Chains A and B, each alone.
Chain A
Amino acid sequence: MKKYWAIFKTQVVNSLAYPGEIIWRSMAILLFLWVFTFLWRVAFDTSAATTLSGLTLRDTLWYLMLAETIELSRPRFANTIAQSVKDGSIAYLLCKPYDFLLYQLSVNAGDTVFRLVLTFIFGGALIWGMVGAPPSPWGWPLTLIAFAAGWLINFCLTALIGLAAFVVEDVTPFTWIYQKLIFILGGMMIPLDFYPPWLQRISKALPFSYVMYGPARLFVSPDLERFTALLAGQLAWVAALGVLVSIAYRRGLRRLAINGG
């Protein structure tokens, strides 16, 4: 495990090599949340209600802040894996003394840290200024654990898309569609509570909501019961998807043909 920890630490330092890039990227959250603030203010005004499906305007905007933070700090490495499969550079990683998937996990975890912190700070400052203080801090550690478990689910799903490069020419369309599944069925753009009941049931049963809705909803309404149910679901998905990634990786390697180099 020591070597993966070293890779993680190196990547954290690497991610700081271009501070301008990381700051501009993190600032994107201001833009999205600003638009959301306009939209949801009008939506609550139109409904002439202070609470919709158990959420106030303040809850909704803090929910969206965390959901956007998760989305913007989420690693997007499917195309990196796909490219290394297509151009054969995966061979250089395979002959090194570490597991390819654990290497990807360490690198992407390292990449996430500062993006997550900066996005949270920028987004939090804006929403605090717009609608007031954040939800109770005692729920924050629980949210962080749920975020980490959701991050692992996202890692497995993204790795599966990247590994699809062993069988298809181009995985880019899959990454777009996955992102939109996260947006809609994950509850990034609207809390799932506002969905019609039938769509809520479907969305909550799928892994996307465990990446996004689960941690964001826990952030605004922290309670132990919600946390344990969420974590149990997340761990079940991590286990199932982890097995699937491992199978896909081994099968992919069998198809790999590298010439020369």
Chain B
Amino acid sequence: MEGSKSSMRRELKFLFAIWKANLQSAMEYHIAFIAQILGMMLNNAFYFLFWVIFFERFKEIRGWGLNDMFLVFGVTATSFGVTAFLFGNAFSLSDVIAQGRLDYYLSMPRPVLLHAVSARSIPSGMGDIIYGITSYLLSGYFSWGGLGRFVVGVILASTAFAAFLIIAHSLTFWLGNAAALARLLMNAILTFALYPITLFNGPAKFLLFTIVPAALMGSVPASLVRELTWQNLGGLFLGAAVLLGLAIVVFRLGLRRYESGSAIQVEV
């Protein structure tokens, strides 16, 4: 027990060291870093104009109004940003696998998956985080208790999202470079997460809780922020845990099939 605790502490220390190095590396080009953050905030704001215009015309969609969209955007953008900023390589894991760049991580005495996905940070993720928090604050659902639930919701939604990306990109172990398929699946989860869940019913809703678990990234954490119920919290926790477990299993199974031409190189 004590041994696993100290091992966990060691891995966390390692993770923080990588994040620190990533941040320092991004800050090296500080103008580009700031431009990416501001650009992403502006990008999200323009995208959100769609909902402003839509609800100006249609007022309400099956019980969802503009304030609900602010909230769902807040949760989704922040979760996306957290994943991009802290686990940026999860977005390009296919290329890492297909180009034999896993060799570098395999040669290190650290957990391969954790090291591989956290080795790169996408600076624009910080723009998503700032935008997401602002969107939540503007939603009209803000309360101190709600803020705590927002943080919990974002942590679980980011976990679910990162796990989904790992599963999608790990298909490369079986299909060759699955980058295009993984991009399609990522677009799917994001697109569905950013629409009112009340639009979907029957098989479509089932899909959003299972194969493309967009509900875990948008509507469920948003419901948790609105109101703490065991169903919301338990469902989100269970969904994130199952996805994470599945991601680890799929990646490990894939790793057994991994082949490369000894491409050990410095990963920068």
A interface residues, Cβ below 8 angstroms from B = 20-21, 24-25, 27-28, 31-32, 35, 38-39, 42-43, 46-47, 168-170, 172-174, 176-177, 179-181, 183-184, 189-190, 194-196, 199
Q: Does B211 contact A (CB under 8 A)?
A: no
A27 and B184 form a contact (CB under 8 A): yes
* Contact residue among B46, B62, B200 (Cβ-Cβ distance under 8 Å from A177): B46
Q: Is B53 a contact partner of A21 (Cβ separation < 8 A)?
A: no
Q: Which residues of A contact B187 (CB under 8 A)?
A: 28, 31
Secondary structure dominating the interface of B: helix
Please report the total number of B residues contacting A with Cβ < 8 Å: 37
21 contacts between A and B (CB under 8 A): A24-B181, A25-B180, A28-B184, A35-B195, A38-B204, A39-B195, A42-B199, A43-B54, A43-B58, A46-B60, A172-B124, A173-B39, A176-B43, A179-B43, A183-B46, A184-B46, A184-B47, A184-B50, A189-B50, A194-B57, A196-B56
Smallest CB gap from B37: residue in A: A173
Residue of B29, B176, B181, B191 touching A32 (CB-CB under 8 A):
B191
Complex Cα–Cα for A194 and B56 (A): 10
User: Are the C-beta atoms of A173 and B36 separated by less than 8 Å?
Assistant: yes
Q: Which of A27, A31, A174, A179 neighbours the largest number of chain B CB atoms within 10 Å of its CB?
A: A31
Q: Are A39 and B61 in contact (CB under 8 A)?
A: yes
Task: Decide yes or no: A173 and B38 within 8 Å by CB, A181-B46, A189-B50, A199-B53 being known contacts.
Answer: yes
Q: Is the CB of B184 within 8 A of A190?
A: no
- Kindly list chain B residues whose C-beta atoms are within 8 Å of the C-beta of A177: 39, 42-43, 46
Contact A169 B35 (CB under 8 A): yes
| Inter-chain contacts of A180 with B (CB < 8 A) | 43, 46-47, 49
Given contacts A35-B191, A46-B60, A179-B43, 5 further A-B contacts (CB under 8 A): A38-B195, A39-B195, A39-B199, A43-B61, A172-B124
Indicate whether B32 reaches chain A with its CB closer than 8 angstroms. Answer: yes
Complex CA gap A27/B200 in Å reads 21
Are B58 and A46 in contact, with the CB atoms below 8 A? yes
Q: What residues of chain B lie closer than 8 Å to A24, measured between beta carbons?
A: 180-181, 183-184
B69 within 8 A of A: no
Q: How far is the CB of B132 from chain A (nearest CB, A)?
A: 16
Q: Give chain A residues whose Cβ lies under 8 Å from the Cβ of B176.
A: 20
Cβ–Cβ < 8 Å partners of A194 in chain B = 53, 57
